[in-house]
Amino acid sequence: MPPAPEAPSAEWPRGHSAFRVREFRVVDRQQDTADTVTLALAPLDGQPLAFAPGQFTMLGRVGVGEVPISISGNPDRGLLVHTIRDVGGVTHALATSDVADVLDVRGPFGQGWCVEDGYGSDVVVVAGGIGLAPLRPAVLRLLAERDRYRKVSVLYGARTPSDRLYPSEVARWRDRDVDVVEVVDQGSPEWLGRVGLVTTLVPRAHFEPGRTLALVCGPEVMMRFVTLALLDLGVPPDRIRLSMERSMKCGVGLCGHCQLRELFVCVDGPVLDYATLAPLLAIREL
Amino acid sequence: MRTIDELLHEHPFFAGLDAEALQLIAGCAANRHARTGDYLYREGEPADVFYVIRRGRVAIEADDPVAGPMVIETVDDGEVLGWSWLIPPHQWLFDARALESTSTVVFDGKCLRTKCDEDPNLGYDLMQRVAQVMYARLQAARIRLLDLYGVPGAARP
């Protein structure tokens, strides 16, 4: 998969180190769900952080540590936006940050979705749970150039209605000629939408399999089943892109924490096409 | 106004079924409309019908005396609802409630079973179609049991 045009090269520019830590101030904090927040960050040095949809940063707090977090903001606007789920020590420190707190940022790292590869094609975006966060920049980029794509579908599965990310924004995507279908695992008395599994939405979405770019992000088991549904319909393996979650640490393929046999997810991924991933996903404990 | 076999011809569940077979099973079918909140069937009632959803959404749910109705899954346009008509004791296990205005084609299960008995080829074809729906729903239910969106490593509810 070729790198996105605006993505930094794996060869870092002279004077720029992958280990250079930049400070960003929290300028906005939204509580998305009970355990998930979205932070908007402004660089203290005034230099916006350019990134490609699908890339991640190493986000940290001094004295606590750093973790890889996908960028969930608009690639065409200034602030760095991260959606963080509070599931561990470092993510707890990040998710409980307040406005005006300062966080450390390294990156951006990795290969993104390369949504431009979908020019002239149908695009189907399948997200599960917090997997919508890494896909949001891709959707925003699709919307920014909506007329360059054919049908665009967003299929989103969440645990409950209150666990959905960005619900009002997702609803507005419908006004931009995007077929948005949401489904939850567990309904609620107020929920009149679909209850079921996100994979079951795939055969019902409107796209021409042979002319489709599929972008998938969510729990790995969910991605496996979504991929099977896409393959079953005839979407070519190299047109199915998955964002892999592994314990990225250095961000530049040195430490080996995120090694997936011959791949380093932090450099070769996190977005990889299924043709590349298929032989690796079949190996247990890899 | 379109005939029932024309409506069935457009429905994905019957895709590929020949015109003769469609006409045969259409003899067991009627149009039925459900308003929002209407129950298409309720737990414990005899399961003598099944529904083809043309438009709308139906919740399959179980009623809990404390929590109220708990939705297990929803069935939308292009899908079918109910297989208890096919399997003894032919009794509904859950409620089915229209979440929105819903247009269906309803089949008389007894009539359909009789036609399937008389024409084993038709019976086998319909069984295969129902089995595919059951298989897909069973697989989906199994995957949902994994609570994929829960906290990784946390105890399942």
Residue B153 resides in a domain: no
Counting the structural domains of chain B, the total is 1
Q: Which residue segment(s) compose the domain that B22 sits in?
A: 4-145
DSSP tally for chain A: helices H, then strands E: 6, 15
B148 neighbourhood in chain A, CB within 8 Å: 128-129, 185, 218-219, 221-222
Rounded to 10 degrees, the C-alpha dihedral A260/A265/A269/A272 comes to 20
A220-223 CB contacts, 8 Å cutoff, 24+ apart: A220/A244, A220/A245, A220/A281, A221/B143, A221/B146, A221/B148, A222/A128, A222/A129, A222/A131, A222/A157, A222/A198, A222/B143, A222/B148, A223/A128
> Backbone phi, then psi, for A148, in 5-degree steps?
-90, -5
pLDDT, tens digit (0-9, with 9 covering 90-100), for A215-265: 999 998 899 999 999 999 999 999 999 998 888 888 887 888 888 888 888
Residue B155: the pLDDT is 56
Compute the nearest-CA separation of B9 from chain A (Å): 17
Confidence band, pLDDT 50/70/90 cuts, at residue A285: low
Closest chain A residue by Cα to residue B36: A192
pLDDT at A266 exceeding the cut of 90 = no
Residue A11: the pLDDT is 52
- Give the span between the Cα atoms of A74 and A68, in whole angstroms: 18
Tell if the CB–CB gap between B73 and A196 is shorter than 8 Å: yes
Tell if the CB–CB gap between B147 and A159 is shorter than 8 Å: yes
Tell which phi-psi region holds residue A7, choosing left (phi > 0), alpha (psi between -120 and 50) or beta.
Answer: beta
Residue B76 resides in a domain: yes
Residue B134 resides in a domain: yes
Residue A261: the pLDDT is 83
Q: Which of residues 57-96 of B touch A (CB under 8 A)?
A: 57, 59, 68-74, 76, 78
CA dihedral over B8, B77, A136, A64, signed as positive or negative: negative
In chain B, alpha helices (H) = 4-10, 19-26, 109-118, 120-145
pLDDT, tens digit (0-9, with 9 covering 90-100), for A15-33: 457 888 999 999 999 999 9
Residue A2: the pLDDT is 46
A196 neighbourhood in chain B, CB within 8 Å: 73-74, 140, 144
Q: Two tokens at A154?
A: 């967003």
Residue A6: the pLDDT is 44
pLDDT, tens digit (0-9, with 9 covering 90-100), for A199-214: 999 998 999 999 999 9
Closest chain B residue by Cα to residue A130: B149
Residue B77 resides in a domain: yes
Digitized pLDDT (tens) for each residue of chain B, 157 residues in all: 778 888 888 888 998 888 888 888 999 999 999 999 999 999 999 999 999 999 999 999 998 888 888 999 999 999 999 988 888 899 999 999 999 999 999 999 999 999 999 999 999 999 999 999 999 999 999 999 988 888 766 655 4
pLDDT, tens digit (0-9, with 9 covering 90-100), for A117-170: 999 999 999 999 999 999 999 999 999 999 999 999 999 999 999 999 999 999
Residue A252: the pLDDT is 80
B70 neighbourhood in chain A, CB within 8 Å: 187
Residue B151 resides in a domain: no
Per the DSSP assignment, residues forming a β-bridge with B63 are B69
Residue B153: the pLDDT is 64
Residue B150 resides in a domain: no
* Cis peptide preceding B46, ω within 30 of 0: no
CATH number of the domain that B14 lies in? 2.60.120.10
Share of chain A above pLDDT 70, in %: 93
Residue B154 resides in a domain: no
CA–CA distances in Å: residue A259 to residues A70, A87, A284, B62: 18, 23, 14, 46
Residue B66 resides in a domain: yes
The single-letter DSSP state of residue A3 is P
Q: Measured at the alpha carbon of residue B116, what is the angle toward residues B112 and B122, in degrees to the nearest 5? A: 115
Residue A8: the pLDDT is 45
- Rg value, chain A, Cα: 18
A195 → closest Cβ in B71, B136, B149: B71
ipTM beyond 0.95? no
Domains identified in chain A and CATH numbers: 22-109 (2.40.30.10), 115-281 (3.40.50.80)
A197 neighbourhood in chain B, CB within 8 Å: 140, 143-144
pLDDT, tens digit (0-9, with 9 covering 90-100), for B37-49: 999 999 999 999 9
